[in-house]
Amino acid sequence: MIQTKTRKPLRYLVLILLAVIILGPFILGFWTSLLPTADIAKGALWSTHISFANYAEAVKQTAILRYLLNSFVISTLTMAAQLLFCSLGAYAFVFLKFKGRDLLFYLILATMMLPFEAEVIPNFATVRQLNLLNHYAVMVIPFLTSAFGIFMLRQAFRQIPPELKEAADVEGLNHWQFYWRVTLPYARISLFTLAAYSFLESWNQYLWPMLTTFSDKFRPVQDGLRQLQSQETFNNWGMIQASAVIVVVPTLIVLFVGQHYFKNGLNEGATK
Amino acid sequence: MSIELKALGKEYTAGNWVLEDVSAHIESGEFFAIVGPSGCGKSTLLRMIAGLIPISAGELQIDDQVATNLPPKDRKLTMVFQSYALFPFLSVTDNVAFGLKARKFPADEIKKRVDKAIDLVNLNEFKDRKPRDLSGGQRQRVALARAIASDVKICLMDEPLSNLDAQLRIKMRTELRNLQRELGLTVIYVTHDQVEAMTMADHIMVLHNHEIQQIGTPLDIYNQPANTFVASFFGTPRMNLLPARVEADKELLLANTLKLSVPEPLPVADYVVGIRPNALRLLPQGAGEPNAQVKTVEYLGSEIILEAELADGTPLELVAAAKDQYNVGDWLSVAIAGQAYVFDHDGQAQFMVEGGTRHATGNHASVQA
């Protein structure tokens, strides 16, 4: 009993410490976004000149809304494509039997070992040949599917009791029907997870859009932010912080909405 | 909707037959049980009939149509799984309607059938629940309702009751049987539980060692077992199988202890004689020479099961009246007082002796059944 009594505060102490370390920069960033740049430059963080002026300025003076729209379009398309193609791929690896199935799957897994940076040059050459540079397509097409997504959904589909497939066979469902009416609903938690993951992944892309977009018309947020910094001769830090907060908000929304679905036990009762 | 199995066989790898030469005729409206110990291939056979596992040899006919290579959906049957196989993301109603929707029935027809099926299995209050909010027995009923909502008349059941507790299982047995009669379903029912098969089935197929041991009515199987496997598989407590040899003309000596007279002379060979515990009689104390020693005593309330050992160490199960008192280590005097089944040394049935009854060591204590 004594042990647990002393342990509990200790545990909370560690948790609080970690929370401060992790949340600190966020809070600091948010706080500075409310301060005038002059105060930030002076290092007067305890300033009382709090306002949303930076936000208004960011929206008025920069293309931040355009960046948001670009990122939103790119991330949504990428997410939708990954959900579709990864689930179809995973379905084939679980429910179809064909020669070389496992070999093919391991090949796909092996591509996960390749860092994206290593693919940049061949990919760039390809998209240039295809005349896709500086367009939404260039940021969506290379990411239509992902080895990780296929791997993750394959694991999820393998959890489906074989009796469900047998029951569906007896009822006469073809593969498309089984895919749509049983596999997807059964693995919906994994699908939500993958959706959130691929959306955020796409949202946070930096290197690839930097190489392939040249105008604000198609530039996504992360590169847009960087652009703000270099454009200004005098760095307006308050405004940049405000933009950064604007950019982070959608990712937080995705995480909060996603969290609602990430709960266990939804598939209980299929089989005993 | 009769079903004909003609020399069905299944091999997963060449030459490695898990089922061989399975032939049977299942009448329309019949409750047909396939029984055997685990691993005997009974679920495999059911899945072959359903079309979920390809048939390696032989021919399957459903309703006089060759169905050997038909896809499952064209075989016009439904299936109830041991694990229920419910769709966890669908409500009870949608689970029951699942097959009908897949087969594109009109909506009002689906509603009618689903309502009726749910009503038949008494799940009206639970229509909108998800499987995870149901008890095991209720999930089982949903699986049943899904099968009976369909218009097809053949239902395959793979140990549907084995996940239920004992009380519920006994209740569901009766319900299932009544439902089958009411709807005129042809049911093929796989179970490892001989009691379930005995109480529910019109005909029983006993599978063991990759092949059919016997097909018959429950009574046939109990009263005329084709071999020692069937004999010991059916009936609780189990039939005693005693090694026997020819002792004299028209007489067998069982386990060097009990004598059994037979109607005609037997060729000299090794035999096995099967005697059910209720065909053995315990003689009153002093009425015969003791020949068996009590090893364990189980009180069942209405009777007592005794596990004993004959003088030469052969185990023997006996039933005794509940009022009597037995202790471990007691010596008993046992005599044959009912049917004895004589099998050859390969375990194949030869003939049955009605009430063969002589006490080997004490010929003064002969009892007629």
- The residue-averaged pLDDT of A176-192 equals 92
Q: Is B128 on the interface with A (CB under 8 A)?
A: no
Q: Could you count the other beta carbons within 10 Å of the beta carbon of residue B237?
A: 17
- How far apart are the C-alpha atoms of B258 and B133, rounded to whole Å? 59
How confident is the model at residue B6, as a pLDDT? 93
pLDDT (0 to 100) of residue B274: 92
> Quick check: A207 contacting B, CB < 8 Å?
no
Cis peptide preceding B160, ω within 30 of 0: no
Question: All domains of chain A, ordered by start, with CATH?
Answer: 54-261 (1.10.3720.10)
Q: How many residues in chain A? A: 272
d(CA B189, CA B204): 9
Q: Which residues contact B331 (CB under 8 A, 6 or more apart)?
A: B290, B291, B292, B293, B294
- Does the pLDDT value for residue A161 go beyond 80? yes
In CATH, which of 3.30.720.200, 3.40.190.10, 3.10.20.600, 2.40.50.140 is domain B236-354? 2.40.50.140
On the question of pLDDT at B269 being above 80, the answer is yes
The Cα of A79 is separated from the nearest Cα of chain B by a number of Å equal to: 23
Interface contact B102-A186, CB threshold 8 A: no
Which of A55-59, A91-95, B276-280, B321-325 is the most confident on average?
A91-95
pLDDT (0 to 100) of residue A265:
54
Q: Which residues 6+ apart lie within 8 Å of B361 measured at CB?
A: B257, B289, B291
- pLDDT, averaged across chain B: 88
Phi, psi of B46 (to 5 degrees): -65, -40
What tokens were used for B99? Answer: 């097959």
Domain boundaries, chain B: 3-226, 236-354
Q: Is the pLDDT reported for residue B354 higher than 90?
A: no
Q: Is the pLDDT of residue B188 over 80?
A: yes
pLDDT in tens, A99-124: 999 999 999 999 999 888 888 999 99
The predicted pLDDT at position A271 comes to: 66
| A–B CB contacts, 8 A cutoff, strictly below | 92
Residue B292, Cβ density class (10 Å: 0-12 exposed, 13-18 middle, ≥19 buried): buried
Q: Which of A200, A177, A196 is nearest to A248 (CA)?
A: A200
Q: How confident is the model at residue B360, as a pLDDT?
A: 37
Residue A258 in this model has a pLDDT that exceeds 50: yes
Q: Which residues of B9-31 are buried (b: 16+ CB within 10 A; e: fewer)?
A: bbeeeeeebbbbebebebeebbb
Instruction: Compute the nearest-CA separation of A178 from chain B (Å).
Output: 10
Q: Name the amino acid, one letter, at B90.
A: L
Of B73, B89, B90, the CB nearest to A170: B73
* CA B10 – CA B22 distance, rounded (Å): 10
Six-digit token pair at A168?
Answer: 């569906």
The pLDDT of residue B366 is above 60 = no
Q: How does residue B363 score in pLDDT terms, banded at 50, 70 and 90?
A: very low
Strand order in the sheet with B303-310: B315-321, B303-310, B292-299, B331-332
Dihedrals phi, psi of B319, to nearest 5 degrees: -115, 135
Q: Which of A37-46, A164-173, A232-241 is predicted with the least confidence, judged by mean pLDDT?
A: A232-241
CA atoms of A78 and A70, how far apart (whole Å): 12
B5-20 pLDDT, tens per residue?
999 999 988 888 999 9
Tens digits of residue pLDDT in B135-182: 888 998 999 999 989 888 899 999 999 888 888 888 889 989 998 999
Distance CA B276, CA B320 (A): 13
Average pLDDT over residues A23-48: 84
Q: Which candidate, B37, B132, B152, B48, places its Cα nearest to that of B92?
A: B132
Distance from the Cα of A198 to chain B's closest Cα (Å) equals 24
Counting residues of chain A whose pLDDT is more than 90, the rounded percentage is 49
Do B145 and B123 contact (CB within 8 A), yes or no?
Answer: yes
Give me B216's structure tokens: 């018959």
Give B208's strand partners: B211
Mean pLDDT of B336-355: 85
Going from the C-alpha of A232 to that of each of A31, A65, A225, A235, B137, the distances in angstroms are 22, 18, 11, 5, 71
What residues in B contact A186, CB-CB < 8 Å? 87-89
pLDDT at site B325: 86
Q: Is the pLDDT higher at A250 or at A17?
A: A17
- Binary contact (B89, A163; C-beta < 8 A): no
Least confident of A225-229, B169-173, B222-226, B333-337: A225-229
Query: Quick check: B84 and A272 CB within 8 A?
Result: yes
pLDDT for A95 beyond 50 = yes
What are the b/e assignments for A237-269, b being 16+ CB within 10 Å? bbbbbbbbbbbeebbeebeeebeeeeeeeebeb
Q: Is B288 on the interface with A (CB under 8 A)?
A: no
Of A61-65, A225-229, B106-110, B179-183, minimum mean pLDDT range: A225-229
pLDDT at A262: 65
Tell me the residue type at A133. Answer: L
Interface contact A159, partner B, CB < 8 A: no
Please compute the mean of the pLDDT values over residues B77-88 and round it to a whole number.
91
- A186 close to B (CB below 8 A): yes
pLDDT at A49 over 60: yes
How far apart, in whole angstroms, are the C-alpha atoms of residue B290 and residue A261? 73
Cβ-based contacts of B73 with chain A (< 8 Å): 169-173
Measured between alpha carbons, how far is A202 from A185 in angstroms, rounded to an integer? 24
Cβ <8 Å between A172 and B134: no
Between β-strands B251-254 and B258-261, what pairing exists: parallel, antiparallel or unpaired? antiparallel
Residue with token string 């898990």: B18
The arithmetic mean of pLDDT across residues B71-95, rounded, is 91
N-terminal to C-terminal alpha carbon distance within chain A: 39
Tell me the helices (H) and strands (E) count for chain A, helix number first.
15, 0
Q: Which CATH code is given to the segment(s) B3-226?
A: 3.40.50.300
**Does the ipTM exceed 0.95?**
no
> B369 falls in which pLDDT band (50, 70, 90)?
very low
CA–CA gap between residue B204 and residue B221 (Å, rounded): 8
Q: What's the pLDDT score for residue A143?
A: 93
- pLDDT (mean) for B94-113: 92
User: How far is C-alpha A8 from the chain's CA centre?
Assistant: 35
The verdict on B137 touching A (C-beta cutoff 8 Å) is no
For A168, the closest chain B residue by CA position comes to: B99
- Which pLDDT score, from 0 to 100, does residue B347 have? 86
pLDDT band at B361 (very low <50, low <70, confident <90, very high): very low
What are the angstrom distances between the C-alpha of B99 and each of A88, B94, B112, B271? 23, 9, 14, 54
Mean pLDDT to the nearest integer, A133-157: 93
Residue A233 has pLDDT above 60, yes or no: no
Residue bearing tokens 């685990």: B38
Angstrom distance (rounded) from CA A48 to CA A35: 8
CA–CA distance, B113 with B123 (Å, rounded to integer): 14
**How far apart (Å, rounded) are the C-alpha atoms in residues A16 and A10?**
10
- Read off the pLDDT of residues A15-29 as tens digits, 9 standing for 90 and up: 999 999 999 988 888
